[in-house]
A and B are shown apart, each in its own frame.
Chain A
């Protein structure tokens, strides 16, 4: 029997975002295994690959466009500490380590042992002639039950792929236009938007 197989990315599988069948192997190649919920999004950014890579590789920049990430402390060249917003003004935190990287092309990371929300991901940068760079984010995580599960639901706005898409759009806006678009009218309104 030939396995049903096509060229679409595993993250677009009809099987409800879970890795399964043909997708499973492809996803396993993408990232270290840290859970079984897989999301993936790509965006095309009209800037050079190296420039985009450099901004992303400096994890301290990420909270500017990753909406739910409050802070990333860079510990050393490979390790970082993540502080992520949770409901009720609380936060969830974990350490992450870079598991693989190819300068200008890709960065892969995974949470370390004992993280409340085991997760891993990778970001890829690929040239597209004349249109800049395709940036693809792939994240695998293990949403726990109970309170933390709710935190995660909020973190990814229930539809994890939607949050990823919004974050990538903000990254694109920042890199293409130098700023992140807002419809706010006053600083006060802008402040509320960011909460």
Chain B
């Protein structure tokens, strides 16, 4: 089959590799119909995530048709499914508590050591996201092997186009969980750093959960425009001073809840950011954390900070004093995707949530490297790239 493979910083290629096979009873093989490039994939593309190996197949946002099942799978050939990016067994203590991204068994035993050493505990396996999270082949390919297929994948009703449901695999539940973790109360003002897919879905979710105002922060005009479409007020951090603007817009109180949907590649010419960037290029240094620092400083006293954004390593100058003195709450983590799927699929079917607005580009799988380049270089206009193995070549 053809697949998108990682070879190093800014080096991804389409190659021919062996097709996946059923290896365990609960496996299924999915023929990919749509797969997206994620902001998290850019962290891999930029070489920020350790334990990648040349030839690794990327991709953790995908859906397709079931073409083969193991004896323990509950799926049937021909069904269309969306697959969560977190690989969870459904049997362990954490799965029992619906903490799917903390599954004890989704990550192969030998690959758990790295996270056990770095984080104290191994986390669940993830598709296409380094060997620390399992070393599983991802879905930016023609086929993918899906373990525990009786637990993760959600079957899509007939006649619903891919574009409406693909984002159930990650970014929609991630934005939703981010808003849930912000513990929004009616009348609240919620600030969201980053108007990428995760930030934009956080904006939508925050309103659905009863926020009165949402203030979205980014520096890309087009992305801010999308946030506005959902009713958010905006701050362009290149035009205005974020902390001062947030304070003035909330009558000196600060936002009740702050959501960091930026992550370890925060942009912008901030002193802390530049020091972080130099250190991060060594892996053992610090993540770039400008957005989370700012969220903590801006948040009102006793407020909530929710951090869907991904960080991988250590942090310098974390404003622990502000965090303590103001009595803030922080909730974070990889998304427990499986927990939210049925409700979010319903919301899509009932027209309460639209995800299609996000897709700016559709490309054949063969042009995936181009897709990475575009998503990386032109973030303003390229909000989301969806790859479709069946599509004809498109002139750039």
- Docked-complex contact B89 and A183, CB < 8 angstroms: no
Q: With A and B bound together, what is the CA distance between A162 and B116 in angstroms?
A: 11
Query: Which B residues are in CB contact (< 8 Å) with A181?
Result: 24, 89, 105-109, 125, 134, 147
* CB 8 Å contact bits of A147-184 with B (1 = contact, 0 = none): 00000000000000010011101101100111111111
Max chain B C-beta neighbours (<10 A), residue from A167, A181, A184: A181
Query: Which A residues are in CB contact (< 8 Å) with B105?
Result: 172-173, 176-177, 181
Choose from B57, B96, B108 the contact partner of A182 (Cβ within 8 Å): B108
- Docked-complex contact A183 and B136, CB < 8 angstroms: yes
Q: Which A residues between 73 and 121 are near B, CB-CB below 8 angstroms?
A: none
* B371 part of interface (Cβ distance < 8 Å): no
Query: Which A residues are in CB contact (< 8 Å) with B107?
Result: 181
Max chain B C-beta neighbours (<10 A), residue from A44, A131, A177: A177
Q: With A and B bound together, what is the CA distance between A177 and B27 in angstroms?
A: 12
Query: Which B residues are in CB contact (< 8 Å) with A177?
Result: 26, 89-92, 105, 148
* A187 part of interface (Cβ distance < 8 Å): yes
A-B contact pairs, 27 of them (CB 8 A): A165-B113, A166-B113, A167-B109, A173-B89, A176-B104, A176-B105, A177-B91, A177-B92, A179-B25, A179-B72, A181-B24, A181-B89, A181-B109, A181-B134, A181-B147, A182-B23, A182-B24, A182-B147, A183-B135, A183-B136, A183-B137, A185-B137, A185-B145, A186-B19, A186-B20, A186-B21, A190-B23
- Docked-complex contact B109 and A169, CB < 8 angstroms: yes
- Docked-complex contact B25 and A178, CB < 8 angstroms: yes
Q: Which B residues between 116 and 137 are near A, CB-CB below 8 angstroms?
A: 116, 125, 131, 134-137
Q: How far is the CB of A63 from chain B (nearest CB, A)?
A: 15
* A143 part of interface (Cβ distance < 8 Å): no
- Docked-complex contact A178 and B136, CB < 8 angstroms: no
| Chain A residues within CB distance 8 Å of chain B | 44, 46, 131-132, 162, 165-167, 169-170, 172-173, 176-188, 190
Q: How far is the CB of A126 from chain B (nearest CB, A)?
A: 16
- Docked-complex contact A185 and B21, CB < 8 angstroms: yes
- Docked-complex contact B104 and A166, CB < 8 angstroms: no
- Docked-complex contact B18 and A185, CB < 8 angstroms: yes
- Docked-complex contact A178 and B26, CB < 8 angstroms: yes
| Chain B residues within CB distance 8 Å of chain A | 17-21, 23-26, 57, 72, 89-93, 96, 104-113, 116, 125, 131, 134-137, 145, 147-148
A-B residue pair count with CB separations less than 8 angstroms: 84
Q: With A and B bound together, what is the CA distance between A180 and B111 in angstroms?
A: 13
- Docked-complex contact A176 and B91, CB < 8 angstroms: yes
- Docked-complex contact B92 and A176, CB < 8 angstroms: yes
Q: With A and B bound together, what is the CA distance between A179 and B116 in angstroms?
A: 22
Q: How far is the CB of B136 from chain A (nearest CB, A)?
A: 5
Query: Which B residues are in CB contact (< 8 Å) with A169?
Result: 109, 112
Q: With A and B bound together, what is the CA distance between A167 and B147 in angstroms?
A: 20
Query: Which B residues are in CB contact (< 8 Å) with A186?
Result: 18-21, 23
Query: Which A residues are in CB contact (< 8 Å) with B26?
Result: 177-179
- Docked-complex contact A46 and B21, CB < 8 angstroms: no
Max chain B C-beta neighbours (<10 A), residue from A46, A169, A170, A183: A183
Q: With A and B bound together, what is the CA distance between A184 and B136 in angstroms?
A: 7
Max chain A C-beta neighbours (<10 A), residue from B91, B110, B145: B110
- Beyond A176-B91, A181-B107, A184-B23, 11 extra complex contacts between A and B, CB < 8 Å: A46-B92, A166-B109, A172-B104, A176-B104, A177-B148, A178-B25, A178-B72, A180-B109, A183-B137, A185-B57, A190-B23
Query: Which B residues are in CB contact (< 8 Å) with A178?
Result: 25-26, 72
Max chain A C-beta neighbours (<10 A), residue from B57, B89, B109, B134: B109
- Docked-complex contact B109 and A173, CB < 8 angstroms: yes
Chain A residue with minimal CB distance to B133? Answer: A183
Query: Which B residues are in CB contact (< 8 Å) with A185?
Result: 17-18, 20-21, 57, 137, 145
Choose from A162, A166, A170, A183 the contact partner of B134 (Cβ within 8 Å): A183
Q: With A and B bound together, what is the CA distance between A89 and B173 in angstroms?
A: 48
* With A44-B93, A177-B91, A183-B125: A170-B109 Cβ-Cβ less than 8 Å: yes
**8 closest A-B pairs by CB:** A169-B109, A179-B24, A183-B135, A176-B91, A177-B89, A166-B109, A183-B136, A185-B20
Query: Which A residues are in CB contact (< 8 Å) with B72?
Result: 178-179
Chain A residue with minimal CB distance to B24? Answer: A179
Max chain A C-beta neighbours (<10 A), residue from B24, B57, B116: B24
* With A181-B147, A183-B108, A190-B23: A176-B113 Cβ-Cβ less than 8 Å: no
Chain B residue with minimal CB distance to A175? Answer: B91
Chain B residue with minimal CB distance to A176? Answer: B91
Query: Which A residues are in CB contact (< 8 Å) with B96?
Result: 46
Query: Which A residues are in CB contact (< 8 Å) with B18?
Result: 185-186, 188
